[in-house]
């Protein structure tokens, strides 16, 4: 098919690598897709998901019209009803009786409007996001150590390091282009790669050392490293002047028994040698660390080692959290979590609250954190939240204890769902369904894992009557009586407002300051090139903390004393620890990637990786079906016998939902136990029973 126009520069909507895409509209209404050679994140590369984006556009499965109680309705009627029911609920039961549950797939401008409406005008912090399931423990760990949620380094550091440690990260499948960059640099420069993961993932293909530690033993491993750093006299005497808490952290680290990781002595020593002998070391961590009921402590155990050695914020060294979704970072920038304000300001800080309230000219500001995702759905279950708006996400499939969440939503008085897909586990529960534009139909910005802000651009017309999420939210805000505050004409105006607010955050000591863009015009927004924040002269290198200046009140970083905790214990009734994660070619609940046949060729159905010894004991044959159960739910999965997993530690992917395989929904098995600081659920350690089906 011949291109109808020139390529349009946009950004992939999947993972946090944030690859630049050249999308060329075709005469048949489709899109030709290439990697953008000028985008710094991917330099022309795309993984198979990004490359298949052109096959996922079109009208198949799309929600094309607003619906009220299952019947088509006009936009005005639907928006009037949403505004009326939210207004009535607030009038009768107060602002905390309503809630928004949003998504790291939203663009920054959508996220900004949702936060402004809930936190500044409705006057509640009852807004949380599916990013809670992804990186909340990193946010909490950063804030404890640095005084702010700041990722110190850049992707370039992966290529400049001498040793890269990947902890709880299957980079090869979950951040493939970053993996390709690392693999190429390893080939060229002989970078040592260490993978720390109980499972032998595809990422181990480039590992010089794979540490298949016991599940949840990451904090013990990094405590042992910290004690060894001290033992070898490698504490950086200069840098440590900028850090509080070393004696306490060391004392806790020295308490860690040497055999608490499940690793052999030889492997442990090899790890300690490689880490301590490489000055340029990057420790990359992802969901294996975050998705734990002690995820924040695990993050801080890693940060402790980098702070003690001063290996942070300089080329080729530092801790690095790789996030799951394309805009998990942009969500953090607008305050997308229930415990944050916009621009990395703190909801519990009265000066910060007042500054945001004044800027917004907001009638009633939320003055305390709202419930985090798991607690939000508990509040829906108990009836404290009576009106719920779910935007761009599918919690009835993806939340822990998904069956319980499904029942809670079913029991809620008034449920609004905005989505681009007509039939999902969650859209089925909506009283009002609002059709939203999807990738390629909407304009805005996203921020990737290295703090780089890029444009997503409209390349195709909206499907049916679909509207942009920011516009739907603004139109409800206007109907609720706040006409002036929600009167933008386009996303450029929202971005300019967000940038202006960031200038206030900058004056309050926050590094998230993009106020250079506060006067941005539509033309400049249209032409915006990807850029890193911060943009301040002192941080032009783009890295943080190499200068020893942190964002705590004392200006010093904090090392934390970490006492490693293990995940929930197994029982004779539920003797297996189920690990969960992504596959290479699918994304979330497959509403988009499921449309591209080639993406299902790699893995076509939900499966259970199980060790040969366990399979034999249970009488499971290859490709048979296994029933996996626990008190929260049940899944039926195809048996894949492999020694990639250890005995007792089966693995299942997260993507399949009630619709595509009635019992392939592993979210139903994940317990709603959360990290006490971050509220992030322990999605990698459900205790389960397994039997032949």
Query: At 116, which helix (H) or strand (E)?
Result: none
Nearer to ligand SF4, 118 or 171 (CB): 171
Half-sphere exposure of 566 (CA within 13 A, CB side): 12
Q: Within a 10 A sphere around the Cβ of 481, how many other Cβ atoms?
A: 12
- Alpha-carbon distance of 500 to 509, in angstroms, equals 15
Nearer to ligand SF4, 39 or 539 (CB): 39
Question: Running DSSP on this structure, what letter comes out for residue 455?
Answer: E
Interaction of residue 182 with ligand SF4, rule CB under 6 A = no
Give yes or no for a contact between 327 and 104, defined as CB atoms under 8 angstroms apart: yes
Query: Which residue from 18, 215, 216, 542 is in contact with ligand SF4, where contact means CB under 6 A?
Result: 18
- Minimum distance from CB of 653 to ligand SF4 (Å)? 16
Instruction: Give the binding range for ligand SF4 (CB under 6 A) out of 23-31, 47-55, 427-435, 628-636.
Output: 47-55
Q: Within a 10 A sphere around the Cβ of 489, how many other Cβ atoms?
A: 10
- Minimum distance from CB of 491 to ligand SF4 (Å)? 21
- Minimum distance from CB of 38 to ligand SF4 (Å)? 15
Nearer to ligand SF4, 177 or 440 (CB): 177
Nearer to ligand SF4, 439 or 486 (CB): 439
Helix 75-93 to helix 469-479 angle, to the nearest 10 degrees? 60
- Alpha-carbon distance of 260 to 252, in angstroms, equals 14
Interaction of residue 177 with ligand SF4, rule CB under 6 A = yes
Instruction: Give the binding range for ligand SF4 (CB under 6 A) out of 10-18, 152-160, 263-271, 334-342.
Output: 10-18
Instruction: Give the binding range for ligand SF4 (CB under 6 A) out of 16-24, 78-86, 202-210, 239-247.
Output: 16-24
Instruction: Give the binding range for ligand SF4 (CB under 6 A) out of 153-161, 170-178, 281-289, 554-562.
Output: 170-178
CA of residue 566 relative to chain centroid, distance: 23
Compose the 520-559 pattern: x for residues touching ligand SF4 by CB under 6 A, - for all others.
----------------------------------------
Interaction of residue 46 with ligand SF4, rule CB under 6 A = yes
Number of residues near ligand SF4 (by CB under 6 A): 14
As a residue count, the chain comes to: 693
Query: Which residue from 9, 24, 40, 50 is in contact with ligand SF4, where contact means CB under 6 A?
Result: 50
Query: Of 464, 463, 483, which is closest to residue 474 (Cα–Cα)?
Result: 483
Query: Which residue from 22, 23, 31, 47 is in contact with ligand SF4, where contact means CB under 6 A?
Result: 47
Interaction of residue 446 with ligand SF4, rule CB under 6 A = no
The dihedral region occupied by 450, where left means phi > 0, alpha psi between -120 and 50, and beta the remainder, is: alpha
Interaction of residue 19 with ligand SF4, rule CB under 6 A = yes
- Alpha-carbon distance of 427 to 432, in angstroms, equals 9
Interaction of residue 399 with ligand SF4, rule CB under 6 A = no
Interaction of residue 17 with ligand SF4, rule CB under 6 A = yes
Interaction of residue 287 with ligand SF4, rule CB under 6 A = no
- Minimum distance from CB of 119 to ligand SF4 (Å)? 29
Nearer to ligand SF4, 155 or 576 (CB): 155
- Minimum distance from CB of 449 to ligand SF4 (Å)? 10
- Alpha-carbon distance of 555 to 557, in angstroms, equals 7
Interaction of residue 590 with ligand SF4, rule CB under 6 A = no
Query: Of 427, 416, 412, which is closest to residue 380 (Cα–Cα)?
Result: 412
Instruction: Give the binding range for ligand SF4 (CB under 6 A) out of 9-17, 372-380, 413-421, 468-476.
Output: 9-17
Nearer to ligand SF4, 17 or 559 (CB): 17
Nearer to ligand SF4, 219 or 322 (CB): 322
Interaction of residue 42 with ligand SF4, rule CB under 6 A = yes
Q: Within a 10 A sphere around the Cβ of 531, how many other Cβ atoms?
A: 15
Q: Alpha carbon of 144 to those of 147, 322, 556, 641: distances in Å?
A: 6, 18, 11, 41
- Minimum distance from CB of 177 to ligand SF4 (Å)? 4
- Minimum distance from CB of 498 to ligand SF4 (Å)? 22
Nearer to ligand SF4, 23 or 47 (CB): 47
**Positive or negative, the Cα torsion across 636, 637, 642, 646?**
negative
- For the chain, helix (H) and strand (E) counts, in that order, are 22, 26
Interaction of residue 176 with ligand SF4, rule CB under 6 A = yes
Give yes or no for a contact between 590 and 654, defined as CB atoms under 8 angstroms apart: no
Interaction of residue 438 with ligand SF4, rule CB under 6 A = no
Interaction of residue 12 with ligand SF4, rule CB under 6 A = yes
Query: Which residue from 15, 374, 615, 669 is in contact with ligand SF4, where contact means CB under 6 A?
Result: 15
Nearer to ligand SF4, 39 or 311 (CB): 39
CA of residue 109 relative to chain centroid, distance: 17
What's the 3-state SS for 162-230?
Answer: CEEEEECCCHHHHCHHHHHHHHHHHHHHCCEEEEECCCCCHHHHHCCEEECCCCCCHHHHHHHHHHHHH
Q: Alpha carbon of 673 to those of 294, 295, 303, 453, 679: distances in Å?
A: 10, 12, 24, 33, 9
- Minimum distance from CB of 480 to ligand SF4 (Å)? 36
- CB-nearest residue to ligand SF4: 50
- Alpha-carbon distance of 593 to 354, in angstroms, equals 43
- Minimum distance from CB of 603 to ligand SF4 (Å)? 16
Q: What is the DSSP string of 134-155?
A: TTHHHHHHHHHHHSS------T
Please tell me whether residue 47 adopts helix, strand or coil conformation.
coil
User: Contact positions toward ligand SF4, by CB under 6 A?
Assistant: 12, 14-15, 17-19, 42, 46-47, 49-50, 175-177
């Amino acid at each position: 098919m011949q291109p109808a126009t020139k390529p349009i520069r946009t950004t992939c909507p999947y993972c946090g690598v944030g690859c630049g895409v050249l999308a060329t509209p075709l005469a048949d209404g489709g899109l030709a897709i290439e990697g953008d050679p000028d985008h710094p994140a991917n330099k022309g590369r795309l993984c198979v998901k990004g490359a298949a984006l052109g096959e996922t556009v079109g009208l198949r499965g799309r929600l094309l019209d607003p619906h009220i109680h299952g019947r088509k309705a006009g936009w005005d009627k639907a928006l009037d009803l949403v505004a009326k029911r939210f207004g009535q609920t607030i009038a009768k039961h107060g602002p905390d009786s309503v809630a928004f549950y949003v998504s790291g797939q939203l663009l920054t401008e959508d996220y900004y409007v949702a936060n402004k409406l809930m936190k500044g005008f409705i006057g509640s912090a009852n807004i949380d996001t599916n990013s809670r399931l992804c990186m909340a423990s990193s946010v909490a760990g950063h804030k404890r150590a640095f005084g702010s949620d700041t990722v110190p380094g850049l992707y370039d550091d992966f290529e400049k390091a001498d040793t890269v440690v990947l902890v709880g990260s299957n980079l090869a499948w979950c951040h493939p282009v970053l993996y390709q960059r690392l693999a190429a640099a390893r080939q060229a420069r002989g970078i040592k790669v260490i993978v720390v993961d109980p499972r032998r993932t595809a990422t181990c293909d480039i590992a010089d050392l794979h540490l298949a530690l016991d599940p949840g033993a990451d904090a013990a491993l990094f405590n042992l490293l910290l004690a060894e750093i001290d033992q070898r006299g490698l504490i950086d005497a200069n840098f440590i002047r900028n850090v509080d808490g070393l004696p306490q952290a060391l004392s806790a680290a020295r308490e860690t028994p040497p055999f608490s990781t499940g690793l052999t002595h030889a492997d442990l020593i090899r790890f300690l040698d490689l880490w301590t002998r490489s000055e340029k070391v990057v420790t990359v961590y992802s969901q294996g660390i975050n998705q734990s009921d002690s995820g924040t402590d695990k993050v801080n155990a890693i940060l402790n080692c980098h702070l003690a050695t001063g290996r942070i914020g300089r080329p080729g060294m530092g801790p690095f959290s790789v996030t799951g979704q394309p805009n998990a970072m942009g969500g953090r920038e607008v305050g997308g979590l229930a415990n944050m304000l916009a621009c990395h300001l703190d909801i519990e800080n009265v000066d910060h609250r007042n500054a945001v309230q004044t800027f917004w000219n907001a009638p009633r500001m939320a003055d305390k954190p709202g419930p985090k995702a798991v607690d939000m759905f508990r509040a829906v279950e108990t009836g404290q939240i009576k009106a719920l708006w779910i935007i761009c996400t599918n919690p009835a499939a993806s939340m822990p204890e998904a069956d319980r969440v499904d029942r809670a939503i079913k029991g809620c008085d008034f449920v609004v769902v905005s989505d681009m897909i007509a039939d999902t586990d969650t859209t089925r529960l909506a009283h009002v369904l609002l059709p939203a534009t999807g990738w390629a139909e909407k304009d805005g910005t996203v921020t990737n894992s290295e703090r780089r802000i890029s444009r997503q651009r409209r390349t195709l017309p909206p499907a049916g009557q679909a509207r942009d999420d920011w516009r739907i939210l603004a139109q409800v805000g206007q109907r609720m009586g706040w006409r002036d505050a929600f009167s933008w004409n386009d996303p450029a105006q929202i971005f300019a407002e967000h940038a202006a607010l960031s200038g206030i955050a900058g004056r309050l000591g926050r590094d998230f300051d993009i106020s250079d863009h506060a006067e941005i015009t539509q033309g400049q927004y249209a032409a915006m090139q990807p850029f890193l924040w911060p943009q301040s002269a002192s941080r032009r290198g783009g890295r943080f903390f190499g200068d020893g200046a942190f964002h705590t009140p004392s200006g010093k970083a904090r090392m934390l004393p970490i006492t490693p905790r293990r995940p929930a214990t197994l029982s004779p009734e539920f003797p297996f620890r189920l690990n969960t994660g992504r596959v290479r070619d699918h994304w979330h609940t497959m509403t988009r990637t499921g449309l591209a046949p080639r993406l299902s060729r790699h893995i076509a159905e939900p499966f259970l990786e199980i060790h040969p010894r366990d399979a034999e004991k249970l009488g499971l044959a290859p490709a048979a079906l296994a029933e996996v159960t626990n008190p929260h739910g049940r899944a039926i999965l195809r048996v894949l016998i492999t020694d990639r997993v250890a005995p007792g530690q089966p693995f299942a992917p997260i993507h399949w939902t009630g619709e595509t395989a009635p019992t392939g929904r592993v979210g139903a098995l994940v317990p709603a136990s959360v990290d006490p600081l971050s509220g992030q659920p322990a999605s990698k350690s459900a205790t389960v029973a397994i039997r032949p089906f």
